[in-house]
Structure 1
Amino acid sequence: MDSSNVNYQVTGNNASKLTFTDVEWKDSGALLNHATTLSNVSFNGAAVDTSNINFTNIKELAANKKMTLVSDFGDKVGTITGTKYKVGSTLEGEGKASLAGNDLIFTAETGTSQEQTHNTVMGATSSMAALSAGNDFVGTATEGLSLGSNIGVDGVSTFANMGGGSMTQETGSHVTSHTWNAILALGHQNEKKSGTTEYGAFFEYGKGNYSTFNGDIRGDGSMHYTGGGLLGKWTSPKKDYIEGSIRLGTIKDDASNVLTDNMGNTYGYNTSTGYYGFHVGYGKVFDYSGGHSLDVYGKFFYNHRNGVSFDAGGHYDLDSINSQILRVGARYSMRTSDQWKWYGGLAYEYEFNGDATGSVTAAGITSAIRGASTKGGSLRAEVGATITQADSPWTVDLNLTAFAGKKRGLTGGVGLKYNF
């Protein structure tokens, strides 16, 4: 008998208590055959504790399935403690030990996914949070390439921006992410009487770490994405504009201790999958005297992350995630000198989807994981400054953005523009 499976307390030749922990499921036979193991010790009347029982090597588990813990236990049993069981990091259910004849048996009555499996879908929402932060970097690239101060004599402009921040996302529980994002864009601008057209391509990168908080259950992981896309913007002579972008790439998730089994063993996993998205926007800029202006806009962002599968104490299938965000707001700008331009803005955004779902399979049972959702509204406030020098090809953009509501946090960035 392996003492890691059954612990027993013996006084003289009588066992007073048997405690079961990590137990290999047996469809036939007994975990402990008392006729051949510890036959000189009486189990009759001993207490039984299965409150931390965890089954391993189980291929199929159905409702009311039984296994024999101890054969020839005796004709009576003491106090039985424990009404639940677990299977690795995946399943749990109602179950209990009882005496059937002279045998001590365990009956698994129900089965469902463990609450901690919810951590896996919360981790998936953190990758969407990183892509959502990338929305703003694509937006700053679109704005940066369209600035007249950033257009070279040949109509070619470049833009690079990097920054990071911390964000807490309500998901039903919550996830805190710390991310760094960067974008590098190259564009061209054509001016005509009918309007100004800007188009370009960009490369994007983001990385970060996250922590999931589900009651007293915490998990940690990291993620990064690499991709690229195209962007464009058309502005009329009256300062109405339409903009848009498309993006695609690969996003990876490395979870270290998101899952734990009954014996305290932690499980991690690595996934890699594709993402794609787009955004469209419409706005109008109102110019005022003294270098002041007001930009009123509405933008829609769509991002999609493909589903993933992995094994971590059980088999997990996480579904694809779709994010659909509508943002409506305004930005006020004022130029205080030839070198300095300040801006501040306020917007409201609403996530219409953001549902993360999945399932876990173990012991022949597939059970749905409790889903996470980022659906809801948030306020977005921004401040920043653009610094230019007449005799320098460089332009610097400093920005700070704060969120409150469904997502809360602070992000900042530094943009560098160079005119060829």
Structure 2
Amino acid sequence: MLHSKLGRVMSLVYYHCVFFALMGSTLRIRSRKETIRLDKLSRTYLAYSLLTSVFMLLNIYCILPQAQRDGYIKNNIVLQLNFVVMVFLRLMTVLCCYSTIWLKRRKIIQLCKSSLAYWKRFRNIMEAIVNKQELEDLQVSLAWTMIQEIMVLYASFLFSALIQYQLLSVVSKRSLLAFSTRLVHLLHFLVVKMGVYGLLILLYHQFMVIHLALNALPRRKVVGKWRALRSVATMHSETLQLARSIFRICNLINATVFVNIFMATLNILYHAVQFSNQTIKSDGWGIVFGNGLILFNLWGTLLLMEMLNKVVTSCNSTGQTLRRFSDLPSVRKKLQRELDIFTMQLKRSHLVFKICGLVELDKPAGLRFLASILSNVIILMQFDLRRNPQPNSSEYLTHLIRNKSEV
């Protein structure tokens, strides 16, 4: 059972990924019959995927020649180094995304097949146990959450495009070509983040369905309640394995996403410092666009970190929901045995999101993530203070006396 709103939103995410060739294969989506099937991998899509990946890789060259002569960065070594790092990260993003798609295409297709089989296998369980209205409310709220993320991503893209256009020193064919190339890569990164967020939405939906099923079982008179609990335990185990498989396959993509988010936020805030001290000249519209870019960039980052934390928390807090069965006046032996098995399963299983198996990301890590960005911006500001030294006290007094005498 999939609500039409959530289905349409996820279809929109799917078509974005297909356009940038970020899918291992195509899907056949029929919203009326609420069915999703895996299409046979066609040679046309393989050729399109190859052309798209080559195009995204080669057009990075168009950014370099004109951008190095841009007026606002040629006298600032920090901005020049920052620009080189951002171009390198764009290159790494393209390489990691399309290398994952090509090298792990069979695993991705098999993961899609397993996910579809998983959905069909547990669909009857959801309809039999979970309250229909609660499930509908969950899916509608997730649909609006995904819509909010899409709007925030596109708003950030719009303000970024306006700011970059204002920063063009000379409007010419070469500068417009470099500007267009930047926009294409911004759109590509937008779709990558949208795809990651969409996967997190689907995982969070499945874990929350498990919570709804566990909440519904104690208060419903279901014949063979122990069988239903066993099915929910199996559903939780397979959802956990599905989440780990997704995190493992998309490991490089997730790493580049969060590294790019870190550097992009740092870049935006440092540009804001340059705008505030008039190092980069701008008018009122530039200030408005810059503030909008800062707002929506931070908003999108917080939404992504919050959804990641919800997925991990909803999986690891299943044991708290399972405690509802301890409030029952009497529990039969079969149900008690299934409760013990499920409890041992939860103790052995713990979902963790790590980047390259090294850095664990959770809510505290997200706060440290933002704190490190602010710390790096403050450090970079010190370069501006050293490059523009303030006059000492004697020079300031001499200048003040001279001005008074002239008056």
Shorter-chain TM-score range: under 0.3
Q: TM-score, with normalisation over the residues of structure 2?
A: 0.22
Name the structure, 1 or 2, with higher relative contact order (CA <8 Å, separation 6+). Answer: 2
Greater strand share, structure number: 1
Q: Which has the larger helix fraction?
A: 2
